[in-house]
Amino acid sequence: MRRYVFGQPIETEAVVNKPQVCTDSMTELSVYTDERFPLNFATTLDAEDIVYGLGENVRGINKRGWLYTSHNSDDPNHDEGKHSLYASHNFILISGQRHLGVFFDTPGEVIFDVGYNHYDKLVVSLPEADVEVYVMEGDSDLAVIREFRQIIGKSYRAPKWAFGYGQCRWSYMTSDEVRDVVRNHRENGIPLDMLYLDIDYMDAYKDFTINPATFGDFDALVSEMKEQNIHLVPIIDAGVKKEDGYDFYEEGKKNGYFCKDENGEDFVVGVWPGDCCLPDMLNDEAREWFGNGYKFLLDKGIDGFWNDMNEPALFYSRKHLQEVFDAVGDFARGNLDINRFFQFKDLMSGISNNEEDYASFYHNYKGQKVRHDKVHNLFGYYMTRSASEAFKRLVPDREVLMFSRSSYIGMHRYAGIWQGDNKSWWSHLLMNLKMMPSLNMCGFLYTGADLGGFGDQTTEDLMIRWLSLGIFTPLMRNHSALGTRFQEVYRFDAVEQMKGIIQLRYRLIPYLYQAYEKAINEDTMMFYPLGMVYPEDTTARRIEDQLLVGDDIMIAPIYEQNAAARHVYLPEDMRMLRFRGAELVEECPLSQGHHYIDMPLGEVCIFVRNGHQLQLADIVESVADLDWDNLTFV
Ligand code: GLC
């Protein structure tokens, strides 16, 4: 492991075990300045090289052939044309003749041209020449990953119950609606451990409040849910409503805990409640204060949270909005020809998440005034850290579930992540699968995507297939957006099939949890690309739609509509277990090589490696009822 320092990098606290700075010049990558960027790193790629990494991002497990930008972005409409999602995970691993891992530690923008302009070249460019670069080489991909994980520290450990099934929707509007959703699960015998509360449980979308009209009996709701082994998991948003008399806002304002504009005034942005201020998550004192906010819900017995809108997502800034209002009048008068019409459209579409806004407010970071865009990618990380540190202070004996939308490497020590706002698209099911190993490399083990898809209308078959993948991901949550089709599984004709698949999840929890714990303890992965486990097998190295889960099993989900079978490649002899719902209906030895395997809706095939075993629990309705000692071994 070699650590190089360029310029004056801002400390991110991604790395906890820092090696000595290497003062020799870098040999593994060429380093240069050009007319576009003050700092570039480049290397040649062999035809067969795979470039792994970049955590949460679009496209393949092998990142070759595209341009990726580290810039945490709120983009619910992402497709493969995008360059960044909600997180920045600047770790890459070149796998081929050499196994070379590189981590670019900077909270600012990094552009990864992974064979996009030239297929045989990797070029990493930085608009600002301040970065710490960690370079590691090893005998295998997994050795490099372990080395990397050892410097960034152990991953967050979620409670066992967080491996149960969770139901979410934006939003269940009243406590009675919550009761209804839970009752429908219980009456249908559909296992459930978590019920998520989206923004409407709050009073006017104000953090650390409860809507008295619709959730007035919140305390009773929490205890009723507890009796049924259901954990209520409320959302917390990054922006704090700017409203005189709202005590949390007043406290933040009085103590100077909000991000400031260039004149030292609180910077005002728009999120769900309208005008908000952004807590200065990078300021130690403000972070402690924000974390203490969770006490309100912890005191009510809550033991799980999801942090949202923390890229931070800005619907608008007051300052920019005023400029837009002033300009709109001009457009209202006169002809809108092609140029003026597009100017008008750009003006409107540029209101949200505007780059100029990100360069218009400031943090007080370690006593320095730092412009937000320089540290943009840290905001979600530090928000979530504020929560996690508060849990340790306030409820040291409670295991708390915590996951965030935005993140940066380092946050993996404090929480998990979900994969942001996806769509009810088959391509996003596949993206969910591909992101798992990329995230694992970067330390994010407790993760999963919105099952069934968040935006757009899901379909029954998509729901079934997505659940069939989701039963393997640590975070297994069905979530959908306001205005979309309701997708709680009991609403579908195929409820019995879906229930069976969720029951299978519970049968798998002991296996999955031990694989998860092992990945934490041994700084390894839970989801492996085949090429990392069978590096000599050139076919396995090319497979992008099958994964190993833990050390013992392989999965090959269906991700195309109307497909009832698929090609599966076996890198070694394996035993196929076919489940119809939760029931094991077929066991069949298969030899190494190519197979075309029937997988009708409602059936899940798991491939057990030669000489390995899979343990299965009995079917239960919640993790609390799982018997971890009496397992069936296959
Ligand atoms: C964001 C979140 C989504 C949530 C919605 C409303 O889009 O990513 O999960 O449902 O906000 O809070």
Q: Find the 376 Cα to ligand 1 centroid distance in Å.
A: 20
Q: Say if 539 falls within a structural domain.
A: yes
User: How many helices (H) and strands (E) in the chain?
Assistant: 16, 37
Q: Say if 598 falls within a structural domain.
A: yes
**Nearest protein Cα to ligand 1, atom 5:** 170
Domain boundary among 110, 136, 152: 152
Q: How many domains does the chain have?
A: 2
Q: Find the 308 Cα to ligand 1 centroid distance in Å.
A: 7
- Cβ partners under 8 Å of residue 296, min gap 6: 208, 209
Is the minimum distance from the CB of 308 to ligand 1 under 6 angstroms? yes
Q: Say if 88 falls within a structural domain.
A: yes
Is the minimum distance from the CB of 141 to ligand 1 under 6 angstroms? no
- Beta-bridge partners for 67: 113
Domain boundary among 97, 128, 152: 152
d(CA 74, CA 353): 8
d(CA 313, CA 481): 17
| Amino acid letter, residue 237 | D
Q: Say if 447 falls within a structural domain.
A: no
Q: Find the 271 Cα to ligand 1 centroid distance in Å.
A: 11
Is the minimum distance from the CB of 199 to ligand 1 under 6 angstroms? yes
pTM: 0.98
Q: Find the 542 Cα to ligand 1 centroid distance in Å.
A: 35
Closest CA to 225 of 197, 205, 198, 202: 197
Each residue of 476-526: pLDDT tens digit?
A: 999 999 999 999 999 999 999 999 999 999 999 999 999 999 999 999 999
Q: Say if 466 falls within a structural domain.
A: no
For ligand 1, mutation pick of 198, 271, 451 (most atoms within 8 Å of CB): 198
Q: Is the dihedral of CA 207, 211, 214, 215 positive or negative?
A: positive
d(CA 557, CA 568): 9
Q: Say if 204 falls within a structural domain.
A: no
For ligand 1, mutation pick of 308, 315, 404, 450 (most atoms within 8 Å of CB): 308
CATH number, residue 96: 2.60.40.1760
Q: How much is the pLDDT for 334? A: 83
For ligand 1, mutation pick of 421, 450, 456 (most atoms within 8 Å of CB): 421
Q: Domain range for residue 49? A: 2-152
CA 313 to chain centre: 15
Which ligand 1 atom sits closest to the C-alpha of 482? 10
Domain boundary among 152, 177, 207: 152
Q: Find the 495 Cα to ligand 1 centroid distance in Å.
A: 26
Which ligand 1 atom sits closest to the C-alpha of 237? 12
Q: Say if 374 falls within a structural domain.
A: no
CATH number, residue 622: 2.60.40.4040
Query: How many C-alpha atoms does 197 have within 13 Å on its Cβ side?
Result: 36
Q: Find the 170 Cα to ligand 1 centroid distance in Å.
A: 7
Q: How much is the pLDDT for 358? A: 98
Q: Say if 201 falls within a structural domain.
A: no
Q: Which two tokens stand for residue 422?
A: 């996806």
Is the minimum distance from the CB of 200 to ligand 1 under 6 angstroms? no
In the DSSP assignment, the letter for residue 333 is: S
Is the minimum distance from the CB of 311 to ligand 1 under 6 angstroms? no
Question: CA geometry: angle at 271 spanning 268 and 277, to 5°?
Answer: 30
First to last CA, the chain: 41
Q: How much is the pLDDT for 511? A: 98
**Nearest protein Cα to ligand 1, atom 8:** 421
Q: How much is the pLDDT for 316? A: 97
d(CA 158, CA 440): 15
- Cβ partners under 8 Å of residue 152, min gap 6: 14, 15, 16, 103, 409, 410, 412, 413, 443
Q: Compute CA distances 433 → 163, 337, 550, whole Å.
A: 17, 45, 14
Residues (pLDDT < 70) of the chain are none
Burial of 258 (0-12, 13-18, 19+ CB in 10 A): buried
